[in-house]
Structure 1
Amino acid sequence: MSRSQSSPITTEVVKEVAEQENVEPVELPPLYNAVDPASLEDLFDSSNSDVQVTFSYLEYQITVSDSGSIEVSLTQ
């Protein structure tokens, strides 16, 4: 999935996982249980170089890149 540049990365991550889980985003546990949301936003807001971050959230592996892509896959 490619994220909207007007939407925070953290919002897009939660929306994508909620879609995978077939629930509303507010039904998911807070993202801060998996990653510091402010740091994630800062990393991509201030970066001019190639950046990619991968972390686990629930049973998913999330990969966010500076190109705007967000990949959500089940962990093995």
Structure 2
Amino acid sequence: MTDTPSGAVSNVCRSGDVSETVVMTVAEAKGVDPLELDPLYDVIDPDALNSLFQPSVGSPPAPMDLRFSMAGCEVVVRGDGEVLVTPPGTDEAPTAPVMSKDR
């Protein structure tokens, strides 16, 4: 895992879908129940997100980051399954998804 900015929440998706980890981490960062958040699909396609970050057996994690905004938070999903959420007021969140292959 990487250094977590002050006020940010970090979790790692160890099994299951990374989309669930995103929703749970955003809810934790905002201090709300996950059901109080607008649906993830309003921001990004959950199936595409899960497919993109599906671990490959015997392959190292892809060196990529995906950044997008959800519920006013900046969300970064890393190739190793780390989900980093920075709540509003901590950092300025991007307005559109951004994919980076180099970190």
TM range, smaller chain? 0.7 to 0.9
**TM-score, normalization: structure 1?**
0.85
Which runs of 5 or more structure 1 residues have no equivalent in the other structure? none
Percent identity over paired residues: 32
Q: Distance in 2 between matches of 1:45 and 1:35?
A: 16
Q: Distance in 2 between matches of 1:28 and 1:52?
A: 23
Superposed counterparts of 1:1-76, under 5 Å: 1-45=10-54, 49-73=62-86, 74=88, 75-76=91-92
Which runs of 5 or more structure 2 residues have no equivalent in the other structure? 1-9, 93-103
Q: CA RMSD in A?
A: 1.8
Q: 2:11, 2:21 within 8 Å by CA — same for their partners in 1?
A: no
Q: Which structure has the greater CA radius of gyration? A: 2
The answer to which structure has the higher helix fraction is: 1
Report how many aligned residue pairs link the two structures: 76
**TM-score, normalization: structure 2?**
0.65
Q: Deviation above 2 Å: which 4+ runs of structure 1? A: 46-49
Q: Distance in 2 between matches of 1:65 and 1:24?
A: 24
